[in-house]
Amino acid sequence: MRAFMTENPTDLDRPQTDDYQAQVEHLTAINAILTRLGATLLDFDTFLKELVASIVSFVHCDRAAVLLANDHTMTLEFGISSYRLASPDRQANLDSLRLSLFNPDEDPLIADWLAGKTVLAQADLVSPGSTTGWLAHLLQTSSFLSVPLVHDDLFLGVVLADNAVSSLPLTDAHRQALTTLVQHATVPMRSAQAHRHIVQQLADTVTEMSILNQIDRELNDTMELNAVFQMTLDWVLRFTNAHAASLALYNQDKDELRFITDYGYDVSADQLVRLRREYGPGIALRVARSGRAEIVPDVALDKDFIPIASNIRSKLSVPVMREDRVVAVITVESKRLNGFTEGHLDFAEKLATRAAVAIDNARLYDEAVHEREKQAHILGNTADVVMAVGHDDRLVLLNPSALAALQLYLNESYVGRVIFDAIDHTPLLDAYRRAKGLGENLVEELPMPNGRIFHANFKHSASLGWIIVMHDITPFKEMDKLKGELIATVSHDLKQPLSVMNGYIELLMMQQAVAPQGMHSVQMIRRSVQNMRQLIDDLLDLAKIESGVRLELKPVQIHAVVSECVDSLRPAAQNKSMTIEVETNDSLPCVVGDYSRLRQILLNLIGNAVKYTPPEGQVKVRAEVRGSTLRVLIQDNGLGISPEDQMHIFDRFYRVRRPETDSIEGTGLGLAIVKSLVEAHKGQIGVDSRLGEGSTFYVSLPVSETQP
């Protein structure tokens, strides 16, 4: 093997006299070549150049070339060579060389290469139309040596070598040298290919991400369905280098495709419709039904293929999915056999995902526009004030009625402005601050700058902020005022004759002018007069409160009020063997209120609890701080209140009509008075109750900013 290191090719035939020295030189040469090849692993093109140069130098041949296997196209392609062909056409044919690996049994040379055999091809021994003869003709040589590149049973390509320049014969020494070098070169070649593949994958990934980002931007810039369809086909055509494409919507209920957009077909739109009507949608419908993408490498072998465009050889169809339903199918077609790769499929599926989102967004946008127009029409024609305020206190919505009620300019836009800057000081702003402070829904009556009185509902929305709806109740307030004045006048006039009646009854009882058997009747008359007088007092009190009672507001310690009320009601509770528990203390913050009116509120609520709780029952009074309010709760385990009665419990003259309550006296005005007093204190009252389980009345009052 020493002859491989000499400059004279004839040394290959020289007898080996020193086998040990030859082996050393042989291994040294191989090692040097592998070292040079290893230094070029990061650049595959440089690696191939070094490999060809090493083949010529080590094997002592005139020329060498490398053909590379392409797994995607199943071909052998020209990689690199040291050939310099005189004819430009021959050189171009060599550079564009493609040898099919599809049917190796039909070509002995291809079959030998795939079997890993080294072949010394003799052009004069084969037909000119064979691969051997064609290569010999292309390379302008009578014979060439070929060795397959195989690594772990993976076919990488073929190395070709010849002596077309020197016309020296290719001997067994050439064969052995080339085979040895190729065997050692396959490992670094595979590493170089793997590195190139990784680098190419990274580059392809970066390119794909860039393309997908651009697709996202373009799809997000439009809400038109036709534009989404056209963009989708445009991008899939560009990325896959396909020759034709189509997009069809799928109706799963009817199991039918409706083609929306087509590109690249050499027939008219009407002809496309006729052909699809006659032959059916073919492979696209199969993909729509299965919901699985398909690559058809050779459409001639697929029974469902419909030949619409001429010379189509391969096809790729991808379903567009939305919520586990196929809504459309994207199809691309190529004139190349096996024209689509797994990379094309992956990109098409990602594009289909984006198209599905864009289609859904466009549909939702159309629905949202229609819904917004409908809501705008409704809000624009409603007499109620409707406003929406975001979490950042900026106005989101005002209808025309709100502009009129707040005396704002009709031709000016207030959306996006801070509510405190857009609206002058009104009770609305104070109520809005209270609602935010409570962090819960709030209902109030608000007098507005235009002289109208509104029933305002502040409702908190976790997603939006605050929704304010105000209903004009001015006519009702005016009617209520007239009714209150009538009640006050009539009640005052009724008190005079009642006083006379009560005086004569007292006189009869003092003089005992009535027989003992008639005294019971006198007592009943006296009791009825007292009930009538209590009713009149309640009516007068309610009229006075609703007409605008003056409260002496100051910090009040709620524990003191509760204690006084409980002390006054404890005898009544003891007569029924009941217990009253108090869970309040002096550490609670003061509330803003009128002491006497707060006493009236709690006395009524605790008294009702005692009155409507059976003997040996229990009443509990407790208080808790909730944000900027103090909540007082009066809980009993009495009869309870039905949901129907709870809706009217605070109405005037409303009494729960049940057999258990027939013997309990009352005017039906107590809770109405309590509600009016609580609202006069800028507070809230409510009830939670279940039949047979008792009731809990709660009163929320604003905490005083100044504490003793």
Q: What are the domain boundaries of the chain?
A: 2-198, 222-368, 382-472, 476-546, 554-702
pLDDT score of 18 more than 70: no
Rounded Cα distance, 67 and 157, in Å? 5
Crossing angle (nearest 10°) for helices 670-680 and 516-546: 30
Band of pLDDT at residue 229, cut at 50, 70 and 90: confident
C-alpha distances in angstroms, 437 versus 240, 429, 703? Answer: 60, 12, 11
CATH 3.30.360.10 holds for 2-198 = no
Q: What pLDDT is attached to residue 4?
A: 30
Please provide the CATH number assigned to the domain covering 382-472: 3.30.450.20
Rounded Cα distance, 700 and 623, in Å? 10
Band of pLDDT at residue 222, cut at 50, 70 and 90: low
Q: Which residue is associated with the tokens 């967004």?
A: 361
pLDDT score of 416 more than 70: yes
C-alpha distances in angstroms, 428 versus 16, 446, 478? Answer: 111, 7, 21
Phi, psi torsion values for 103, nearest 5 degrees: -125, 75
Rounded Cα distance, 564 and 562, in Å? 6
pLDDT digits (tens, 9 = 90+) for 35-69: 888 888 788 889 999 999 999 999 999 999 999 99
Give exposure, 270-288, as e/b (b: 16+ Cβ within 10 Å).
eebeeebeeeebbbbbebb
- Could you tell me which CATH class the domain 222-368 is placed in? alpha beta
- Residues 644-658 have a mean pLDDT of 77
Rounded Cα distance, 315 and 333, in Å? 4
- Residues 639-661 have a mean pLDDT of 77
pLDDT score of 295 more than 90: yes
Q: What pLDDT is attached to residue 533?
A: 76
Burial of 178 (0-12, 13-18, 19+ CB in 10 A): buried
- Could you tell me which CATH class the domain 554-702 is placed in? alpha beta
Would you say how long the chain is, in residues? Answer: 708
Q: What pLDDT is attached to residue 63?
A: 92
Helix runs in 87-171, H state only: 88-95, 108-114, 131-139
pLDDT score of 376 more than 90: no
Q: What pLDDT is attached to residue 549?
A: 66
Band of pLDDT at residue 7, cut at 50, 70 and 90: very low
- Residues 324-345 have a mean pLDDT of 89
Rounded Cα distance, 678 and 701, in Å? 8
pLDDT score of 630 more than 80: yes
Q: What pLDDT is attached to residue 106?
A: 82
* Residues 113 and 79: beta-carbon distance below 8 Å: no
- Residues 484-494 have a mean pLDDT of 70
Residue 95: strand, helix, or coil: helix
pLDDT score of 685 more than 50: yes
Band of pLDDT at residue 212, cut at 50, 70 and 90: low
- Residues 422-451 have a mean pLDDT of 84
H or E element, residue 325: strand 325-334
Handedness of CA 671, 672, 673, 677 (dihedral sign): positive
Pairing status of strand 591-593 against strand 579-583: unpaired
Q: What pLDDT is attached to residue 66?
A: 93
Q: What pLDDT is attached to residue 51?
A: 92
* Residues 151 and 140: beta-carbon distance below 8 Å: no
Burial of 455 (0-12, 13-18, 19+ CB in 10 A): middle
Please provide the CATH number assigned to the domain covering 476-546: 1.10.287.130
Q: What pLDDT is attached to residue 280?
A: 81
pLDDT score of 640 more than 90: no
Q: What pLDDT is attached to residue 156?
A: 93
Q: Please state which of the ranges 32-41, 503-512, 544-553, 655-664 shows the lowest mean pLDDT.
A: 655-664
Phi-psi region of 641 (alpha: psi -120 to 50; beta: other; left: phi over 0): beta
Give exposure, 29-63, as e/b (b: 16+ Cβ within 10 Å).
bbeebbeebeebbeebeebbebbbebbebbbbbbb
Give exposure, 109-148, as e/b (b: 16+ Cβ within 10 Å).
bbebbbeeebbebebeebeeebbbbbbbebbebebbbbbb
pLDDT score of 13 more than 60: no
pLDDT digits (tens, 9 = 90+) for 596-618: 889 989 998 998 888 888 898 99
Q: Could you count the other beta carbons within 10 Å of the beta carbon of residue 517? A: 7
Locate 26 and state its tokens: 């042989």
Partners of 455 in beta bridges? 445, 471
Band of pLDDT at residue 660, cut at 50, 70 and 90: low
pLDDT score of 567 more than 60: yes
- Residues 330-358 have a mean pLDDT of 86
Q: Please state which of the ranges 7-21, 91-105, 357-371, 448-462 shows the lowest mean pLDDT.
A: 7-21
Question: If you average pLDDT over every residue of the chain, what do you get?
Answer: 83
pLDDT digits (tens, 9 = 90+) for 304-317: 888 887 788 999 99
Q: Which of 379, 391, 375 is nearest to 460 (CA)?
A: 391
Most confident of 179-188, 253-262, 425-434: 179-188
Residue 265: strand, helix, or coil: coil
Tell me the DSSP string of 348-399: HHHHHHHHHHHHHHHHHHHHHHHHHHHHHHHHHT-SSEEEEEETTSBEEEE-
Band of pLDDT at residue 659, cut at 50, 70 and 90: low
Band of pLDDT at residue 494, cut at 50, 70 and 90: confident
| pTM (two decimals) | 0.40
